[in-house]
Structure 1
Amino acid sequence: MSSHISGHRKKGDCNDIESVIPVGQIDKNEIISTVNKIQPKGKTPIARSLKKVADELKYTEEKATIILISDGKESCDSNPCDVAKDLEKKGIDFVTHVIGFNVDKKTDKQLECIAKATGGEYFSAKNASALNNAIKSIVKKVEKEKPKPTPVLKKLKDTLEVVVTEKEGGKWVRASNDVIYKDDNGEKGKNISSFTSYKDEVGKTKIPVGKYILRTTYNQFEKETPFEVKAGEVTKLKVVMGETGKVEISASKKEGGKWVIANHWIYPVVDGEKDSSNIAS
């Protein structure tokens, strides 16, 4: 548990959000003493406060519960309810319980939306006694909440399966495959796995959860396919390379003459014109 306060140090500063008591075991007397010293003087940055506290609680990695107490509506950003919805979507069992302290009906509606968006409860307290009761109700609820069991992911022998064909629905062909790591910026990294897929056997490999590029080579042709491996799942890819054929070329000094050593380059024809890049040599 931790305690954050906003709008208490500077006037007009939407980033005036302070962690007055860091995450850890809370001392009741320390909280009371801290709250009694608060002198409201600034903005009410509800959306920014929610995001800041959620990040500190590592809401995308573990269960996180926020108790928001506000005596006014959002005064910095547009809609804190949208932020709450986004946090709930990205978080692991992220919940915000909200108490509106002596606020008007319009503010009640805004604050209630935050609670509903995250599966929390909303309390409208018009006086100190009601505020105290609301806090007790929320604390009791939070203490009774049992953490959701962590799903047990089955152990997988392989996490990637690949088959390669020349055309859609065609027979499988033998091809070489390289798995290339892709970083957060989409840039290619190092090759982390190489394997072969066959005419009668699926190509398989085991790689960690993450985003990658599969580079498939068949008859000197290459194709790159982006993909992602997710926890507890086998990613199955079907790579269609396009139909190919075999070309045999011989060279002689004259028609019907003996063959001679020569170099050959094959270029594709696009719109009746030779393309600048050769596809075989």
Structure 2
Amino acid sequence: MKKILIQQLFITTLMLGLSHNALAEDKKPATDSTPRQSTMIILDGSNSMWGQLQGINKIVTARESLKTLLENAHGNINFGLLTYGNKKKSCNDFTLVSKPEDYDKKKMLRNIRKMNPRGRSPIADALKQAAKNLPAENAHILLVSDGEESCGGDPCAVAKELRQSNPGLQIDVIGFRDEKEAQLECIAENGNGAFVVADNTERLKTLLDGVQAKARTIVNVTGTPVDGNLPGSIEVSIKSTHTGGTPSRANFSIYRPDGSNIASFTSRIQVKEYLEPGEYRVKAQWKGQSYTNKVIVQSGKTSTLRFDASQSGMLRLSSLNSNKEAVKANYSVYLANGDFISRHVHQDNVDLRIPADEYRIKADFDGTIQEKNISIEPNVDNNHVFRFE
């Protein structure tokens, strides 16, 4: 009997020990060597964050956006938090709430909820401070701000410097619709990141999902991301031998397959945009030239599209009526595969510089339509006259 009691006591002690170890394991932070994305969130605490966007305080929108991001992250990201402007009206008002390696979701959400905007906007120094707390690999900054630098720094230049010192760094920006968003766009552009305005709920959601998809790809380096429905991204630029082969400033537009516009960008050297997996059409306009191409976006991956403006020719269109008089007409230009390039309404003539390729051109005069297939050759003027007889 005594032997049985001793055996039972041993088993009970063993079970309690196992239970204790299991609980202890639950409390321990992950110590495996799996690579993770480290994201430093920079949250604007300047007084202007009390302003409203569509009737809602900007700081409220910022809190909700970050809450969505943190609550939907699946353990692939270590988040850190840096705030500025929320304690005093000083250009030295920075608070490193937590580093990525010390990430605690509940604690971070509490700190975000307690954010009380009141100060200034030292964005340039905030970017530097955030970068100091990131590892060399898989580094990411998410800036949430409504305004421009107010402490004499140049955050656009700082973003460029940070990328030069760490080419793997990416800086995404969530901004707010006002006259000061150009600087925030520049930060994203120089940081090889995306810029979205907080009131564009569709693009905002895609950006937040895209941050997660990027992290999942880092973890699952040997195959496809866990969730194939999470967004990927595209990087778009244009170059020409006339500018030494370096990317040039141009206007870019991204379209869905049905032709509806997702986003347009003015005078950008490079554009990065998070998109749901699928096929899209991208259009670039540079020095009177229009370029278009399709791009396939895959979950968690970045698709690169580089337009080459080196080879182009001039297309000139005009129309004559039955009396051989010049008339105004509507013109449309398509690639031979049917991709739309441009439309010109009620014009005497059209002068359009476009890349060397095969095209289909169309003219509409008083409801009568004529079409023509035409080849554009490099550095050659191509003239076509539609004759409506």
Q: What is the TM-score with the length of structure 2 in the denominator? A: 0.34
Larger % of helix: which?
A: 2
Greater C-alpha radius of gyration: 1
